Amino acid sequence: MREGPDIARIASLVGDPARANMLNALMGGTALTASELALEAGVSLPTASSHLSKLMEGGLLTLASQGRHRYYGLAGPQVAGMIEAITGVAEAVGPKRVRPGPRDGAMRVARVCYDHLAGEQAVAMLDRLVARDILLRNDNEIRLGPSAASHFSAIGIDVGAKPRRPVCRACLDWSVRRSHLAGTLGAAILDKILAEKWARREKDSRAVVFSPPGKQAFERVFLG
Amino acid sequence: MREGPDIARIASLVGDPARANMLNALMGGTALTASELALEAGVSLPTASSHLSKLMEGGLLTLASQGRHRYYGLAGPQVAGMIEAITGVAEAVGPKRVRPGPRDGAMRVARVCYDHLAGEQAVAMLDRLVARDILLRNDNEIRLGPSAASHFSAIGIDVGAKPRRPVCRACLDWSVRRSHLAGTLGAAILDKILAEKWARREKDSRAVVFSPPGKQAFERVFLG
DNA sequence: AGAATGCTTCGATGGAGACCGAACTATGCG
DNA sequence: CGCATAGTTCGGTCTCCATCGAAGCATTCT
């Protein structure tokens, strides 16, 4: 009967299937409306609304009201990280997947993690950026290297702005068990990939699928 | 209504206060009996037993029977990592701690994480070992450096044995948000610290408190 | 063998909360 | 203003499960 942070409270929020589905959907990074989340969770609108207010009260979500729409999103990278950690355990102890399936394979290669890219591609990218000294890494702390500004501005990403959120962050990848790049730079790179149509997001999934030429372009720019 | 690893199942296991208390207690690293865990969770023995079988079925615990005692322990580092992640969120969104309190401070400095040392001291130690090339680090992968064997055997730790568990592992620290050393080497170092009485474990807590001379000795050996 | 200890199983109870339909509020549109 | 859409609140039902006492196994001690 010890004290400390109330982990049961947080875990029980994630522990309901409807809420877990909602959180999973929000791991895609885009904020969703209550009706979209109700559909996603397979429950009625009133039920979804009740779940959402609980998640809000628990501090796991943020809310952005725009007119008559109310967009719910994950409260931050830490929450996303927790979901990834739980997913990792569920994956490990869960029923031995009868068959990894093609979609599952695609998820391992590349997927969206909150607002940035995850999966093998993302891990390889961070490795390469560090190897080329474009980013400087010390454990989970990642800083811009001397050539970062010119390198990224050449491909249309401005790293000069100083938002409150850190520019770079390491984020643990549940499929590869290594880190990939998060932070505003990670988000900007994902934006770039999608804007250039190097890859598209799989419908109803976190998977990100590169087109063959898109993959080449990505590798030339980030793994070159 | 999407598929994938059943995160709700895992989270709901942690989501019950009694079970959360048990898991928290097991984060201390030592396996405990059902009665000890019942006491820890503040429930009767039958109730605890029921919880334990659920946790077992969920794959979060391992069981070692020794005579009439049955020792329950965390199933592995991944489970411990998940608990740390949830703890981090609970800490962040939880009621703004009225006062950090001395015990809380002690936890930040040094505590037990599963079977090894965590906290500021542990993070500093890993940094230093890597800086001295005694350990070689590439992201979460940590290997022994050339001088590791002689360095550790000089202080009575044998790194030659080849157990199934990896010798070194990086483990994310929830208070410092950086990595510390896990794996058999991490465990051996914690054993050493306690065996030499450089530090003692706080009663009913994960905190590890160094004595002044113990701290000096520890710093000389590992941070020197 | 008999007693004691450690733990699990059984059965019954009670309470929490997930759920939905209906009514209500708020915003936008013509 | 009146209608439509988005969302929340309310009231009631129903299921699940945490809980404990009592009884049942298993192991060890004497």
CATH of the domain at B36: 1.10.10.10
Assess whether B179 and B127 both reside in one domain.
yes
Task: Find the Å distance, CA of residue B200 to C1' of nucleotide C26.
Answer: 60
Assess whether B34 and B126 both reside in one domain.
no
Which among B77, B79, B103, B73 has a CA at the least distance from the CA of B175?
B103
The answer, yes or no, to whether residue A14 has pLDDT greater than 90, is yes
Q: What's the whole-number mean pLDDT along residues A84-104?
A: 72
Q: What's the whole-number mean pLDDT along residues B39-62?
A: 93
The answer, yes or no, to whether residue B30 has pLDDT greater than 80, is no
Round the average pLDDT of chain B to a whole number and report it. Answer: 83
Q: What's the whole-number mean pLDDT along residues B40-62?
A: 94
| Strand D close to A49 by CB, under 7 A | yes
Contact of A140 with chain B, judged by CB distance below 8 Å, is answered with yes
Give the residue from chain B lying closest to A39, CA to CA.
B1
Q: How confident is the model at residue B43 (pLDDT cuts 50, 70, 90)?
A: very high
* Residue B86 belongs to a domain: no
* C-alpha span between B175 and B110 (Å, rounded): 10
Give the residue from chain B lying closest to A11, CA to CA.
B15
Task: Find the Å distance, CA of residue A138 to C1' of nucleotide C17.
Answer: 46
| Strand D close to A48 by CB, under 7 A | yes
* Residue A1 belongs to a domain: no
Cβ partners under 8 Å of residue A26, min gap 6: A32, A37, A61, A72, A73, A74
Report the pLDDT value the prediction gives residue B9, as an integer from 0 to 100.
Answer: 96
Round the average pLDDT of chain A to a whole number and report it. Answer: 83
Report the pLDDT value the prediction gives residue A221, as an integer from 0 to 100.
Answer: 86
* Residue B188 belongs to a domain: yes
Comparison of pLDDT for A198 and A172, the residue scoring more: A198
Long-range contact list for A95-101, CB < 8 A, 24+ apart? none
Percent of chain A with pLDDT over 90: 27
Nucleotide nearest to B18 (CA to C1'): D18
Assess whether B133 and B181 both reside in one domain.
yes
Contact of A6 with chain B, judged by CB distance below 8 Å, is answered with yes
Report the pLDDT value the prediction gives residue A51, as an integer from 0 to 100.
Answer: 96
On whether the CB atoms of residues A31 and A64 are closer than 8 A, the answer is yes
On whether the CB atoms of residues A25 and A37 are closer than 8 A, the answer is yes
CB contact under 8 A, A20 and B11: yes
Q: What's the whole-number mean pLDDT along residues A83-93?
A: 90
Comparison of pLDDT for B96 and A140, the residue scoring more: A140
Distance from the Cα of B102 to chain A's closest Cα (Å) equals 13
* Residue A125 belongs to a domain: yes
Contact of A176 with chain B, judged by CB distance below 8 Å, is answered with no
Assess whether B103 and B67 both reside in one domain.
no
Contact of A154 with chain B, judged by CB distance below 8 Å, is answered with no
* C-alpha span between B119 and B129 (Å, rounded): 16
C-alpha angle A123/A60/A116, rounded to 5°? Answer: 25
Residue that is last in its domain, among A75, A103, A129: A75
Report the pLDDT value the prediction gives residue A165, as an integer from 0 to 100.
Answer: 59
**Which nucleotides of chain D does any protein CB come within 7 A of?**
5-11, 17-23, 26-28
- How many domains does one find in chain A? 2
Assess whether A178 and A219 both reside in one domain.
yes
> Which residue, chain included where needed, has tokens 């740390």?
B84
Convert the pLDDT of each residue in A106-133 to its tens digit: 888 888 877 788 888 888 898 898 888 8
Task: Find the Å distance, CA of residue A64 to C1' of nucleotide D9.
Answer: 20
Within 8 A of A84 by CB-CB distance, chain B residues are 85
Assess whether A48 and A106 both reside in one domain.
no
* C-alpha span between B155 and B161 (Å, rounded): 16
* C-alpha span between B153 and B12 (Å, rounded): 44
Q: What's the whole-number mean pLDDT along residues B181-198?
A: 84
* Residue B52 belongs to a domain: yes
Assess whether A108 and A206 both reside in one domain.
yes
Q: Please name the member of A10, A13, A90 whose beta carbon is closest to the beta carbon of B9.
A: A90
Report the pLDDT value the prediction gives residue B101, as an integer from 0 to 100.
Answer: 52
CB contact under 8 A, A42 and B11: no
Assess whether B71 and B144 both reside in one domain.
no
Q: How confident is the model at residue B13 (pLDDT cuts 50, 70, 90)?
A: very high
Assess whether B160 and B108 both reside in one domain.
yes
The answer, yes or no, to whether residue B164 has pLDDT greater than 50, is no
Report the pLDDT value the prediction gives residue B93, as an integer from 0 to 100.
Answer: 80
Alpha-carbon torsion angle B177, B20, B25, A75, nearest 10: 10
Give the residue from chain A lying closest to B20, CA to CA.
A8
Query: The domain containing residue A24 runs over which residues?
Result: 7-75
Q: What's the whole-number mean pLDDT along residues B96-109?
A: 62
Residue that is last in its domain, among B60, B75, B90: B75
Convert the pLDDT of each residue in B109-157 to its tens digit: 888 877 778 888 888 888 898 888 888 887 667 888 888 888 888 888 8
Residue that is last in its domain, among A26, A54, A75: A75
* Residue B172 belongs to a domain: yes
Q: How many CB pairs under 8 A join A and B?
A: 161
Q: How confident is the model at residue B28 (pLDDT cuts 50, 70, 90)?
A: confident
Q: How confident is the model at residue B99 (pLDDT cuts 50, 70, 90)?
A: very low
The answer, yes or no, to whether residue A94 has pLDDT greater than 90, is no
Report the pLDDT value the prediction gives residue A95, as an integer from 0 to 100.
Answer: 62
Assess whether A116 and A146 both reside in one domain.
yes
Percent of chain B with pLDDT over 70: 83
Assess whether A106 and A180 both reside in one domain.
yes
* Residue B217 belongs to a domain: yes
Cβ partners under 8 Å of residue A141, min gap 6: A170, B178
* Residue A209 belongs to a domain: yes
* C-alpha span between B222 and A192 (Å, rounded): 45
Assess whether A212 and A127 both reside in one domain.
yes
Contact of B90 with chain A, judged by CB distance below 8 Å, is answered with yes
* C-alpha span between B208 and A118 (Å, rounded): 36
